[in-house]
Amino acid sequence: MKTFLILGAGTGGTMVANKMVHELDPQEWKIIIVDQFESHYYQPGFLFIPFGIYNPADVTKRKRDFIPPQVEFVISDIEVIEPDQNRVRLAKENRVINYDYLVISTGCKIHPEETEGMVDGGGWRENIFDFYTIEGAAALNRFLKFWKGGRLVLNVAEMPIKCPVAPLEFLFLADWYFTQRGIRDKVEIVYATPLPGAFTKPRASSILGDMLERKGINLVADFNIGSVDAGANKIASYDETEIDYDLLVTVPTNMGSGVIQRSEMGDDLNFVPVNKHTLQSDQWENIWVIGDAGNAPTSKAGSVAHFMLDVIIENILRHMEGLNPLPKFDGHANCYIESGFEKGILIDFNYDVEPLPGKFPLPGLGPFSLLQETAANHWGKMAFRWIYWNILLKGGEMPFESQMSMAGKWA
């Protein structure tokens, strides 16, 4: 029996398990997937929790229910990967799994402790919150319910972060939320980012920057946070600019899983070096990486993991047949940006082409409009939760191709 081992049963790992059961002969292959947690969170839903649009139960399901019965699901912390020996050590019962093929899908998570004074300065979850964890999002919801207003500062600590549009969505929703509550005039909203503008790509950055301005949100660009002074309610950048806050919402440094560091397989942020077009490890030919765990220079997003899926499966199957992997992954990313007041924006881009205006997925018809605020885009975003649980995780077909198309776009 040969072993096909998947590490991490989040968005990427679950999709791979669902696809692989249909590809591998059960007489010949055993598929095992390992994760530390029982619960699968729909992470894009975390954004809506602070504003009371979703509650934690709306975004939580059992991982087991999304893993095919033929696949062995092990709940355990992964201790270490020993790629030269083709084996992985688990915490639970000191189990050792020898593998023939390994897929790494251990994602990334936030590390607020990387910023001096953020967690240990006394303000954490008092008036400093994150919304990238379910606990942080729920705690922020409790805080916002009773907040009477003041200066809200949203800070991104360092790039890359997963879902790079999430901070903008948070700002747009905050503007909407405080308007609904009738206290928008009592809240000053500030966005302090290390980027030179509102977003990473120039065209989208200027359009989104205009939107911030229209909504009365102040942008502080090129702000690289160095420390938090929780006693004085101030953040300071490395070049000593200071910003006062009453409420600090942070998107902390994102890093790959600790197991990548323990296994010495990652870069400075514990992301695994991977061929950005084939998704094969740079160093070990039987190791493949999907989703946020890798260092491919595209957005870290569920939609991206989905676009990686077909390429990684095809390339693994080719490799099993002794063929070379095909360089098919083009960095395709597709993100709905919730912009408040039941509207949304959609952007579609890849390694080479920045987000452009136009219609998606059908050229000229849509129904979604690229880089424009529409109600249809908002409903697309809200429908994504259903699509995620019912189609995406199961590796089902989506109504568009993995590779980006230029049709219907205005270059």
Ligand X SMILES: Cc1cc2nc3c(=O)[nH]c(=O)nc-3n(C[C@H](O)[C@H](O)[C@H](O)COP(=O)(O)OP(=O)(O)OC[C@H]3O[C@@H](n4cnc5c(N)ncnc54)[C@H](O)[C@@H]3O)c2cc1C
Find which of other proteins, ligand X, none residue 408 binds, CB within 5 to 8 Å per kind. Answer: none
Find which of ligand X, other proteins, none residue 268 binds, CB within 5 to 8 Å per kind. Answer: other proteins
Of 41, 40, 235, 12, the C-alpha closest to 131 is 41
Contact 43, 388 (CB under 8 A): no
Quick note: the x/- pattern for ligand X over 186-205, rule CB under 6 A, is --------------------
Query: Is 301 among the residues that bind ligand X (CB under 6 A)?
Result: yes
Query: Is 287 among the residues that bind other proteins (CB under 8 A)?
Result: no
Write the DSSP assignment of 138-196 as a string of letters. Answer: HHHHHHHHT---EEEEEEE-SS--BSTTHHHHHHHHHHHHHHHTT-GGGEEEEEE-SSS
Nearer to other proteins, 237 or 374 (CB): 237
Touching other proteins, residues 179-238 (CB under 8 A): 194-196, 200, 222, 224, 226, 238
Distance CA 104, CA 87 (A): 13
Find which of other proteins, ligand X, none residue 166 binds, CB within 5 to 8 Å per kind. Answer: ligand X
Nearer to ligand X, 168 or 236 (CB): 168
Touching ligand X, residues 1-60 (CB under 6 A): 8-13, 34-37, 43-44, 46-47
Distance CA 294, CA 271 (A): 5
Query: Is 349 among the residues that bind ligand X (CB under 6 A)?
Result: no
Mark the segment that binds ligand X (CB under 6 A) among 176-184, 251-259, 263-271, 401-409. Answer: 251-259
Query: Is 38 among the residues that bind other proteins (CB under 8 A)?
Result: no
Distance CA 132, CA 250 (A): 9
Please state, in angstroms and as integers, the Cα–Cα distance from residue 320 to each residue in 285, 313, 314, 349, following that order: 11, 11, 10, 31
Angle (CA) 41 47 53, round 5°: 95
Find which of other proteins, ligand X, none residue 86 binds, CB within 5 to 8 Å per kind. Answer: none
Query: Which stretches does DSSP call E strand in 278-396?
Result: 287-289, 333-340, 343-349, 358-362, 366-370
Residue in 121, 160, 258, 357 binding other proteins, rule: CB under 8 A: 160
Contact 253, 156 (CB under 8 A): no
Contact 131, 137 (CB under 8 A): yes
Nearer to ligand X, 52 or 231 (CB): 52
Quick note: the x/- pattern for other proteins over 242-281, rule CB under 8 A, is -------------------------xxx------------
The dihedral over CA atoms of 229, 200, 402, 409, expressed in degrees to the nearest 10, equals: 140
Site for other proteins, rule CB under 8 A: 158-160, 164, 194-196, 200, 222, 224, 226, 238-239, 267-269, 297-299
Interface with ligand X (CB under 6 A): 8-13, 34-37, 43-44, 46-47, 77-78, 105-107, 131-132, 162-163, 166, 257-259, 291-293, 300-303, 305, 335-336
